Amino acid sequence: MSAPIRMGVLGLGAVAQAVHLPLMARRPDLVTISAVCDIADEVTAAIGGRYGIPESRRFSRYDDMLEAGGLDAVMILARGSHANEVLRGWQAGLFVFCEKPLAYTLAQVDDLIAAQPTDRPSLLVGYMKQYDPAVQAAAAILAGIDDIRSIEATVLHPPGASQLEIARVVGATAPLSPETQAIVDAEDRRLHAAAVGDAEEDTWRAYRGALVSSLAHDLSIMRSFGAPPLEFEWADLWRQASSHQRRDAGRDRRSFGEHPPSIQAVGTLPGGGRFTLAWHYLVDLPAYRETVRVVHGAGTLELVFPSPYLLHAPTELTVTDRDDRTERRVLRRSVREAFEIQLEAFAAMVWDGAHPLTELDGSRADIFDCQRILARIAERTGLTVGGEVGSLVRRGS
């Protein structure tokens, strides 16, 4: 057992306040929250006070936190692409825990691959569902299966505000300064152009929000099952409204577009099976729901995930198979928290050099698959895309 990891936290928004900070606070055997940083000074002050962080260890600039020293690792929880922050963390000699999305482009990941430390694992990309006991149990079962016939994954996504009511998230009451906002906007425009070229803003937001930041979880689960997508044969993106709509998407427009979409993709698995991925933003849905169903020659597996912001709300795994001449159905649940198991994996990486479940290669594969989905949509519908996604359309791949 080594000394607790001295952790600096960048980004003190929803996922930090609802999940990571409370977990770290109750696992002092693993980590010590040694510094916090957020672009909004009032949020840094509020969260720093809540967790007893000295004022001298509260920062509004990431580089200032790195230069102050006294850290073993950084946890990157800020909005948007994290590639630059990962690189600067490595340059400061630190281990990095990075919530997805790691990046929006393959070029960003390739730059990190070229720059990564070679003497030890140094990055954990935060796909907590891979650490979920139900997912790990399903993966163990499927390791002995050679005929996965189909995987069907469906995400039903309600407004973020409804998911976060229980967390009492502290937010900024004042807008960013014009100078800071200009920097944020310039980086967004740069990545927009690099990923999807001159595509419309709603296309860019659907790509970065619905695909790379959400549906990528299901791609990571497929990787855990040893059954990543082989080919994307069909995909679509559409938007529907209802005259009976009662709620408003609100701030989610920043993430998913002015009218958040539905997305579906169909394709083949390496062993010859099929998969279907679906993601729906449902503004009046009462609660988040995600299901993954696997059919194989001797039975089925079904995973049902609750909202990721509900700590210790078990994912349910239902296993159906044969018991002699009868059908057997087994329901498995564990109250072990996936985020906490993930934090333990990060500590094992720092202390013992253990490889996490997703590093740069796995994250790159998921980003590439998200690009393949959007490229298929563009080929079918004539949607305007450029950048890296546009290059896939031109190749017809």
Q: Which residues, including other chains, have CB under 8 Å from residue 314's CB and lie 6 or more apart?
A: 134, 306, 333, 334, 335
Q: How much is the pLDDT for 159?
A: 87
CATH number for 104: 3.40.50.720
pLDDT-based confidence at 257, cuts 50/70/90? confident
- Do 145 and 283 belong to one domain? yes
Query: In this structure, are 135 and 115 located in the same domain?
Result: no
> Is there a single domain that holds both residue 151 and residue 227?
yes
Looking at residues 350-354, what average pLDDT do you find?
97
| pLDDT exceeds 90 at position 189 | yes
The answer to whether position 236 is within a domain reads: yes
233 part of a folded domain: yes
Quick: pLDDT tens for 95-146. Answer: 999 999 999 999 999 999 999 998 899 999 999 999 999 999 999 999 999 9
**Once rounded to an integer, what is the mean pLDDT over residues 355-362?**
97
Q: Quote the CA–CA distance of 94 and 73 in Å, as a whole number.
A: 5
> What's the confidence (pLDDT) of residue 218?
98
Tell me, what's the pLDDT at 1? 53
| Residues 86 and 138 placed together within one structural domain of the fold | no
On whether both 166 and 313 belong to a single domain, the answer is yes
DSSP H helices in the chain:
14-15, 21-25, 41-50, 62-68, 83-91, 106-115, 133-142, 160-163, 178-196, 201-205, 216-224, 252-256, 338-352, 360-381, 387-395
CATH code of the domain containing 279: 3.30.360.10
Tens digits of residue pLDDT in 148-188: 999 999 999 998 777 777 777 888 888 889 999 999 999 99
Other beta carbons within 10 angstroms of residue 297's beta carbon come to 9
Owning domain of residue 90: 5-126
Position 343 in a domain: no
Residues 93 and 136 in one domain: no
Q: Are residues 88 and 135 in the same domain?
A: no
Q: In sequence order, which residues have a C-beta less than 8 Å from that of residue 225 and are 6 or more positions away?
A: 138, 139, 142, 148, 151, 294
In a domain, 79, yes or no: yes
Task: For residue range 301-335, list pLDDT tens digits in order.
Answer: 999 999 888 888 899 999 999 998 899 999 999 98
Is the omega angle on the peptide bond into residue 101 within 30 degrees of 0, that is, cis?
Answer: yes
Q: How large is the average pLDDT for residues 247-270?
A: 91
Spell out the residues 6+ positions from residue 260 whose beta carbon is closer than 8 angstroms to its own.
Answer: 157, 206, 209, 210, 239, 249, 252, 253, 281, 283
Query: Both 28 and 99 in a single domain?
Result: yes
Last-in-domain residue among 79, 111, 126: 126
303 belongs to a structural domain? yes
Kindly state whether residues 194 and 180 are assigned to the same domain: yes
Number of domains in the chain: 2
Does any domain span residue 349? no
Q: Are 151 and 297 part of one and the same domain?
A: yes
| Residue 397 clears pLDDT 80, i.e. is over it | no
Boundary of a domain, candidates 85, 103, 126? 126
Per-residue confidence (pLDDT) for residue 395, from 0 to 100: 59
Domain closes at, from 99, 126, 153: 126
In a domain, 118, yes or no: yes
**Amino acid (one-letter) located at 392:** L
CB count in 10 Å sphere of residue 22: 16
* 112 and 134 share one domain: no
Share of the chain above pLDDT 70, in %: 98
Check if the beta carbon of residue 146 is closer than 8 Å to that of residue 271. Answer: yes
- Does residue 90 share a domain with residue 209? no
The whole-number pLDDT of residue 396 equals: 52
- pLDDT(35) > 90: yes
Helix and strand tally (H, E) in the chain?
Answer: 15, 14
Residue 264 CA to residue 377 CA, distance in Å, equals 9
